[in-house]
Amino acid sequence: MRLYIAEKPSVGRALAACLPQPHRKGQGWIETGGGVVTWLFGHVLRQAEPEEYDPKLKRWRAEDLPILPAEWRLVVNESAAQQFAVVKGLIARADEIVHGGDPDREGQLLVDEVLDFLGNEKPVRRILINALDDKSIHDALGDLRDNADFLPLKRSALARARADWLIGMNLSRAYTLAARRAGHDRLVLPIGRVKTPTLALVVRREREIENFKPATYYLLDAVFRHEKTGESFRARWKPSEERTPLDPEGRLVDEHAARAALEAFGSEPQDAKVTRYERKKKEEPPPLPFSLSALQVLAGKRYGYEPQQVLDTAQKLYEEKLTSYPRSDAEYLPVNQHKDAAKILSNLAALADTPLGAWARAADAKQKSRAWNDAKISAHHAIIPTTVPVNLARLSAVERNVYELIARAYIAQFHPNYVYDQTKVEVTYHGELFAASGRTERAAGWRAMYRAGKSESEDTEKEDEESAVLPPMKKGDAADYVSAELGTRQTKPPTRFTPATLLQGMKEIHKYVKDEAAKKMLRDVSGIGTEATRASIIEDLIRRKFLHAAGKKKVLTPTEAAYLLIDALPDTMTYPDATAVWEDRLHSMAEGEGTPEEFLAGQAAFARELCHAALSARIAGVEGIPCPACGRGVMQKRKGRHGDFWGCSAFPQCRMTANDVGGKPDFAGKRIPRSAAGASGARPSASPAPTYTPRGSYTPTADEQAEMDAIFFGE
């Protein structure tokens, strides 16, 4: 018997429909003439929790950190236990297994981990389903691979999952305990390998805005008359840093210098010379089809949709067989997919009285853009329409908008390049340089499809400079100065992130790393997080009240808890440098370089280092009476065996206590213990302690335990 294991029921049903009759449905499986199809519900196995390794680890104690499993364990998720039993029984009966996980790193792992957990030794093939329409599934069935070819992908996903556990489990406990010692009794600080540097991006951006001081800068535009043609043109003064005071960004901020230049340029002699004239024909190919991140960013900018909303919509379109696999990080297409172009374009052309229909009718199905490139394809390809016709009237407004973005990007691959003449002119006048550039359109090509989107236009100032109309001229021509105008602009603070632009920041993480060497290395890395997890990470930060989303555009601002968390952590955890380097190594592992063991050894060392740092972390305390011994904790009222007393929140690192007198701690005659280890990091002394639950350890409530589970098994 051949057994197909799909990642989810919808994929299993679509796969079974493409296998020979007869079909017989069971509980959690479908028997066909070509084998049995069953399915998982995503990860039916989960990482074991610390207390499942050792019951004593249910209590959070600084001295138990870091927790480093000697042998990693998986546990069957209770919610999936029934389906897991079905899959287990079918694997026992099978002669051959076909792995039908989604065509990405995570999809590879979630079926492989079940096979490994059950000790499977039967042959395993791999099917890569990039879309759920019948044609795509039949094509995939005709191209089964050896599952062993995807071992590097599985290793990369396994290393990522275990690294997330090590960082999330250990550092969340370590810094939550540090917060308890500072008096934050009910605060849980979730720390994640990807989540924390993402939160830090928003915190730093907000502080940049708070500290921003607007500055005025000056732009001087001169009008020259070309001597031979008599036509006038404008050119902008490019002041020399050696002769004119400029700010670090190269802007003229000295008003006196600007006005002095304006006056000087009006004096004789007023003859200028064209010192550079360059006119080049340029062609711009159409933008590539969408990866998930690119789709989320554009839909966010154009329609204000949140990343998770775009992913959910793309998933719905995929399950309706209208578009290909949504969780794709690729923007290219396999060459053999080009044979479907005529059918897809024909379906789109039938959409009468719609822009999509008009664009598709004008497309040339034989044209092959740069998007078709097998060298850029791994397990999956860009998101595109399938060969299934769409009825736009049956889609919701959000579904229709997302579908139209996907279809437009596909149609653009069959339109001519945008062709224009780029002109650059430099004029020397009074020993100073003036420059202008112009763009003359020859053929709109694919750009005609994109003119409606205002949010997709280029930067206004840049667009103004490039749209100048320039007369024909050549180097060495004479020109006369006519007039000049001084304009003012104000520097603007950086804009706050929205979910869409924060996701873009995660994808373009090289822009935010501190180390220049790492910045260069990571320019080609596709960011931190994965296509499937970035949106959920942002949603999780909002849900846990570390980020506040306001207004129609969901502008993000950090909460007080976010500032507290980011300020408590060392730069190695809050800047994306280390995380981005780890992502690069995970990407290399997926390509066959490196092993999970090597990668996790580095993660364990990192967790050990930061757990130690947490012992001396300075976290802003709650309002209250500061501990006179350690200066870090606050005195908190406790109920003891012999009545109320006061103890330091930083116990056991600090063992300061005081009697309760009138509802306040009485420090009279108290000897400040030298073992107030908060400052030194030394282990607490063995001196007698009052009878109360140590503040250096913590047993979470059921709700907090559920919250931490979500933290630890995410990024």
- Provide the annotated active-site residues: 325
Whether the Cβ atoms of residue 234 and residue 468 lie closer than 8 Å to each other = yes
**What backbone torsions phi and psi does residue 45 show, to the nearest 5 degrees?**
-110, 145
Answer positive or negative: Cα dihedral of 239, 244, 246, 249.
positive
Backbone angles phi, psi at 394, to 5 degrees: -85, -5
- β strands within 227-380, DSSP E: 232-238, 271-284
Strands 2-6 and 96-100: parallel
In three-state form (DSSP H/G/I as H, E/B as E, the rest C), the secondary structure along 198-238 is HHHHHHHHHHHHHCCCCCEEEEEEEEEEECCCCCEEEEEEE
Q: Give phi and psi for 647, each to the nearest 5.
A: -135, 155
Report d(CA 678, CA 683) in Å as an integer: 9
How far apart are alpha carbons 223 and 655 in whole angstroms? Answer: 77
Continuous segment of H or E residues that includes residue 397: helix 397-412
How far are the Cα atoms of 133, 527, 627 from residue 24, in angstroms, in the given order?
21, 45, 71
| 635: Cβ contacts below 8 Å, ≥ 6 apart | 624, 625, 626, 627, 646, 647, 648, 649, 656, 658, 665
Q: What is the dihedral of CA 166, 167, 173, 179, to 10 degrees?
A: 170
Nearest Cα to 306, choosing from 631, 592, 576, 549?
A: 549
CA 138 to CA 19: how far, in whole Å?
9
Distance of alpha carbon 655 from alpha carbon 638, whole angstroms: 13
Q: How many residues are given for the chain?
A: 715
| Alpha-carbon gap, residue 133 to 510, rounded angstroms | 37
Long-range contact pairs involving 88-91 (C-beta distance under 8 Å, separation at least 24): 88/118, 90/3, 90/29, 90/36, 90/38, 91/3, 91/115, 91/118, 91/120, 91/122
Residue type, 421: D
Helix, strand or coil for residue 51? helix
Alpha carbon distances (Å) from 648 to 61, 76, 341, 624, 642:
17, 42, 71, 11, 18
The enclosing H or E element of 483 equals: strand 478-490
In whole angstroms, give the CA distance from residue 272 to residue 76.
Answer: 80
- Radius of gyration, CA atoms only, the chain: 32
Q: DSSP letter at 385?
A: B
Check if the beta carbon of residue 115 is closer than 8 Å to that of residue 101: no
